Amino acid sequence: MKFSLTWLRDHLETDATLAEITEALNAIGLEVEGVEDPSEKLAGFRVAHVLTAEKHPDADKLQVLTVDAGPDVNGGKPLQVVCGAPNARAGMKGVLGLPGAVVPSNGMELRKAAIRGVESTGMMCSLRELDIGESHEGILELPDDAPAGHSFADYQGSSPIIEVAVTPNRPDCMGVHGIARDLAAAGLGTLKPIAVPEFAASGACPVEIRTDDAQGCPAFYGRVITGVKNGPSPDWLQQRLKSAGQRPISLLVDLTNYLMLAYGRPAHAYDCAKLHGAVHARRAKPGEQVLALNEKTYTLDDSMVVIADEREVHDIAGIMGGENSGVSDGTTDVLLEIAYFDPARIGVTGRKLGLASDARTRFERGVDPAFLDEGLDLLTGLIVELAGGAASEVVRAGSPPSEPKVVAFDTGLTKRLGGVEVPEDEQRRILESLDFAVDGDWQVTCPLRRHDIEGPVDIVEEIVRIHGLDKVESVPLPRAEGVARPTATPQQVMERRLRRAAAASGLDEAVTWSFLPEKEAAHFGPEGETLWTLENPISEDLKVMRPSLLPGLLMSAKRNADRGAASTRLFELGRRYFRKDDGTSDERATLGVLLAGEKTPRGWGTGKAEMFDAFDAKAAAIALLEAAGAPTGNLMVMGPDSLGPGTQFHPGQSATLRLGPKNVLARFGMLHPATLKAFDLDGPVAAVELFLDAIPARKAAKGPVSFARPSFTPPALQPVMRDFAFLVPEPLAAGDLLRAVQGADKANIIAARVFDLFTGIPGKEGGVPEGMKSLAIEVTLQPQEKSYKDAEIKAIADKVVAAAAKLGAELRG
Tens of pLDDT, residue by residue over 248-291, are 999 999 999 999 999 999 999 999 999 999 999 999 999 999 99
Is 295 assigned a ligand-binding role in the annotation?
Answer: no
Most trustworthy range by pLDDT among 105-114, 222-231, 708-717: 222-231
Is 461 assigned a ligand-binding role in the annotation?
Answer: yes
CA 324, 227, 268, 201 torsion: positive or negative?
Answer: negative
Domains 2-37+160-190 and 406-471 agree in fold:
yes
Average per-residue pLDDT in the chain? 90
Rounded Cα gap, residues 132 and 311, in angstroms: 41
**CATH code for the part of the protein at 490-694:** 3.30.930.10
Q: How many CB atoms lie within 10 A of CB 198?
A: 9
Rounded Cα gap, residues 509 and 488, in angstroms: 21
pTM for the whole thing? 0.69
Average pLDDT over residues 376-398: 95
Q: Do 47 and 218 form a contact (C-beta atoms < 8 A)?
A: no
Per-residue confidence (pLDDT) for residue 700, from 0 to 100 = 61
Rounded Cα gap, residues 803 and 329, in angstroms: 94
Per-residue confidence (pLDDT) for residue 712, from 0 to 100 = 67
Is 410 assigned a ligand-binding role in the annotation?
Answer: no
Identify which of 187, 138, 262, 158 has the alpha carbon closest to the alpha carbon of residue 27.
Answer: 187
State yes or no: pLDDT of 761 exceeds 80.
no
Phi, psi for 674 (deg, rounded to 5): -65, -35
Q: Residue 570's beta-bridge partner residues?
A: 508, 594
CATH superfamily name and code, 720-811: Ferrodoxin-fold anticodon-binding domain (3.30.70.380)
440 CB contacts (<8 Å, ≥6 apart)? none
Q: Residue 395's beta-bridge partner residues?
A: 222
Is 462 assigned a ligand-binding role in the annotation?
Answer: yes
Q: Do 775 and 728 form a contact (C-beta atoms < 8 A)?
A: yes
**CATH code for the part of the protein at 209-398:** 3.50.40.10
587 CB contacts (<8 Å, ≥6 apart)? 575, 576, 577
State yes or no: pLDDT of 711 exceeds 70.
no
Look at residue 375 and give its three-state secondary structure: helix
Q: Do 113 and 156 form a contact (C-beta atoms < 8 A)?
A: no
Per-residue confidence (pLDDT) for residue 645, from 0 to 100 = 38
Identify which of 157, 383, 376 has the alpha carbon closest to the alpha carbon of residue 251.
Answer: 383
Average pLDDT over residues 214-224: 95
Q: Do 652 and 641 form a contact (C-beta atoms < 8 A)?
A: no
Q: Band of the pLDDT at 642, cuts 50, 70, 90?
A: very low
Per-residue confidence (pLDDT) for residue 643, from 0 to 100 = 45
Q: Where are the domains of the chain?
A: 2-37+160-190, 40-156, 209-398, 406-471, 490-694, 720-811
Identify which of 398, 399, 303, 316 has the alpha carbon closest to the alpha carbon of residue 363.
Answer: 316
User: Using one digit for the tens of pLDDT, what is the confidence trace for 57-90?
Assistant: 998 889 999 999 999 898 889 999 999 999 999 9
Residue 792 burial by Cβ neighbours in a 10 Å radius (0-12, 13-18, 19+): middle
CATH number for the 406-471 domain, one of 3.30.450.20, 3.30.56.10, 3.40.50.300, 3.40.50.2020? 3.30.56.10
Average pLDDT over residues 800-810: 92
Average pLDDT over residues 741-755: 91
State yes or no: pLDDT of 132 exceeds 70.
yes
Does the domain at 2-37+160-190 match CATH 3.30.56.10? Answer given as: yes
- CB environment 560-575: b (16+ within 10 A), e (fewer): bbeeeeebbbbbbbbb
CATH superfamily name and code, 40-156: Nucleic acid-binding proteins (2.40.50.140)
Q: Do 190 and 354 form a contact (C-beta atoms < 8 A)?
A: no
Average pLDDT over residues 431-446: 95
State yes or no: pLDDT of 51 exceeds 50.
yes
Q: Do 590 and 689 form a contact (C-beta atoms < 8 A)?
A: yes
Cα angle 150, 152, 158; round to 5: 125
User: Using one digit for the tens of pLDDT, what is the confidence trace for 564-588?
Assistant: 888 999 999 999 988 877 777 788 9
- The CA distances from residue 564 to 560, 568, 609, in Å, are 7, 11, 16
Look at residue 462 and give its three-state secondary structure: helix
State yes or no: pLDDT of 813 exceeds 70.
no
How many CA atoms are closer than 13 Å to the CA of 434, on its beta-carbon side? 31
Question: Could you give the percent of the chain with pLDDT greater than 70?
Answer: 96
The continuous run of DSSP H or E covering 625 comes out as helix 614-627
Q: Band of the pLDDT at 705, cuts 50, 70, 90?
A: low
User: Using one digit for the tens of pLDDT, what is the confidence trace for 524-548?
Assistant: 887 667 788 888 787 778 889 999 9
